Amino acid sequence: MLDLKSKPFYLNDSDINWVNTTLNSMTEEEKIAQLFCLITYTDDENYLKYLAGILKVGGVMTRTMSLDELCNTVTRLQTNAKIPMLISANLEAGLNQACYTGTRVGCEMGIAATNDAHYATELGSIIGEEASALGINWSFAPIIDIDYNFRNPITNTRTFGSNPKTVAEFGKAYVEEVQKYGIAASIKHFPGDGVDERDQHLLASVNTMSTDEWDKTYGVAYKTSIDAGAKTVMVGHIMQPAYSKLLNPTLKDEDVLPGLIAKELLNGLLREKLGFDGLIVTDSSTMAGIGTVMPREKAVPLTIAAGCDMFLFTKNLEEDMAFMTAGVKNGVITKERLDEAVTRILALKASLKLHEKSNIPNKEKAMEIVGCAEHRKIEREVADNSITLVKEEKGVLPISKEKYKRVLVYKKEGGKSAFGGGAAQGACDSFVEKLKNNGFDVTVFVPDGGWEGMAKPVKEMTDNYDLIIYLVSMATKSNQTIVRIEWAEPMGADVPVYMHTIPTIAISLENPYHLIDMPRVKTYINTYGGTDAILDSLLDKLLGKSEFTGVSPVDAFCGKWDTRL
């Protein structure tokens, strides 16, 4: 029997009666449908009626939309749902990841770089206010992964950094605050990303820590948020062999499974050792990690049988629902396990009081709250307090048009972040315009195409430019194996080689680890994003109008001795 009156649901007798009455009124087909949290990129009425009214799924995650579209989406889902729905979004950096006009408070690493947990509370507060105004009731955040491996192409600025104490403290602050607004937090990605350098979107990655190491790091982060009342945990396509083998000594290497299908991790570690009694949701089932270890027909029902309560997304809707249904029919998912999972789903909804309110957003009220001036003020504060001067050559800063009139800019750009929290496309161009508007003569570098013996003489560079600025905007994104600078042809035409004769500043708008590829640059800055608020603050600091106060939440020197030169 589940104790629904205790942490994290804290249901009263009326809530519990609704859960039990609803469960007992459901058909087996309806129970299976509740296990699914699907996705929508659109407010198309027919599609949403199909999800809510015909399939009767338990929840839907929204991708980024306009405010009107998002209000329409939530209204159509909740209006057509027999049982109120969980409406989720990836709210890691702000409401901008769900609504175009939402506030991007700051990515988690930017929040951590302020060195003030107050801003993690502000992140949770702003997300809570804006999300609840739009009818969103489930945040797939905070990320409490620990960014130990600078080569990991996914965790990066989405984390609170590499210090477990900071991750635990800031994660707790987010959880406690966002849940005050009727938004369930989902701490992720259990059993912990950031150790492996590989992407769990592409394979089942590995957390290689010993059990003692895990307890002191990821264990502390998870236990802190669980004790703080986190209602849900998202489990990843990540293996933790040390704990799997400790909890099940019969396992061979080939039997070790990623968290979302590892019974010993879900029950022995998460439920029993860490004391979590809330809802467990899988990470996206469309990621390749689960498919690299077993056939999908087997994996889909095994997620629930092993201990997850909800199944996130589908690769093929009809097929995956058929796989899940077959798992119930053939006993892979027992009737008891099905009822337990659905009970937790209903209990989460009851804990958010979805059964007692309309759940329909008020568009006019939402327009007053989402992206409001008060929230934008905090966004600017985070930008100002987070930008980090990692290393500095004496005498280069501050810059001015009198000191460095002629500026050569090298732009190094990657694709737009798939997670919606990174720099806007065109951030480098925007910053170039800001330099021009402040009186600098700016030239953007274009490779000549010459080979050996044909490069411009050094004197031509020194005669024409007073300052070189490298602008690097390369965000992490799904299905990416590495985030590294690729230098231009011919022969690394834009590699920093003039820094010995021309003052040079390197600025990373995203990945904090680019010193690995430009180790001897003597002035290097991390901004953790490329929004207008960040770019304006960056310029103020370069011009000497504002001090650099950010503290790096990670080793920006990547453990290399030459990056400190």
Give dist(CA 208, CA 217) in Å, integer: 13
pLDDT at 240: 98
Strand, helix or coil for residue 369: helix
Token pair for 57:
């799924």
* The CA-based dihedral angle spanning residues 128, 133, 136, 138, taken in that order and rounded to the nearest 10 degrees: 20
Q: Is 441 annotated in the active site? A: no
Cβ contacts of 492 within 8 Å, gap of 6 or more: none
At position 551, the amino acid (one-letter code) is V
495-517 burial, b at 16+ Cβ within 10 Å, e below that, comes to: ebeebeebbbbbbbbbbbbbbbb
How many angstroms separate the Cα of 211 from the Cα of each of 119, 155, 246, 317? Answer: 32, 21, 8, 38
Q: Which residues, at least 6 apart from 372, have a Cβ–Cβ distance to it below 8 Å?
A: 103
What is the pLDDT, as a whole number, of residue 420?
54
What count of residues does the chain have?
Answer: 565
Low-confidence ranges of the chain (pLDDT < 50): 421-423
What pLDDT digit, counting tens, does each position of 433-442 carry?
999 999 999 9
Q: What is the pLDDT of residue 1?
A: 76
State residue 491's pLDDT score: 79
User: What b/e string do you get for 140-165 counting C-beta neighbours within 10 Å, with b at 16 or more?
Assistant: bbbbbbbbbbbebbbbbbbbbbbbbe
pLDDT in tens, 134-178: 999 999 999 999 999 999 999 999 999 999 999 999 999 999 999
Give the Cα separation of 436 and 440 in Å (integer): 5
Q: What pLDDT is attached to residue 479?
A: 82
Report strand pairing: 138-139 vs 86-89.
parallel
Predicted confidence at residue 267, as pLDDT, reads 98
CB 549 within 8 A of CB 385: yes
- Relative orientation angle of helices 118-133 and 164-178, to the nearest 10 degrees: 30
Confidence at residue 58, expressed as pLDDT on a 0 to 100 scale: 98
Q: What are phi and psi of 281, to 5 degrees?
A: -120, 145
**What's the token pair of residue 336?**
């008891």
Cα 519–chain centre separation: 28
Q: What is the pLDDT of residue 489?
A: 85
Dihedral of CA 521/526/530/533: which sign?
A: negative
pLDDT given at position 456: 79
The DSSP 8-state label assigned to residue 311 in this structure reads E
Nearest CA to 423 out of 511, 520, 313 is that of: 511
Alpha-carbon span 441 to 458, nearest angstrom? 20
Residues 204, 238: contact at Cβ < 8 Å?
yes
Place of tokens 């089942």: 204
Choose among 42, 74, 37: nearest CA to 317: 37
**Which residues, listed in sequence order, are joined to residue 88 by a DSSP beta bridge?**
61, 138
pLDDT score, position 424: 57
- The sign of the CA dihedral 284, 59, 189, 347 is negative
Q: Which of 15, 193, 277, 283 is catalytic?
A: 283
Contact 198, 151 (CB under 8 A): no
pTM: 0.96
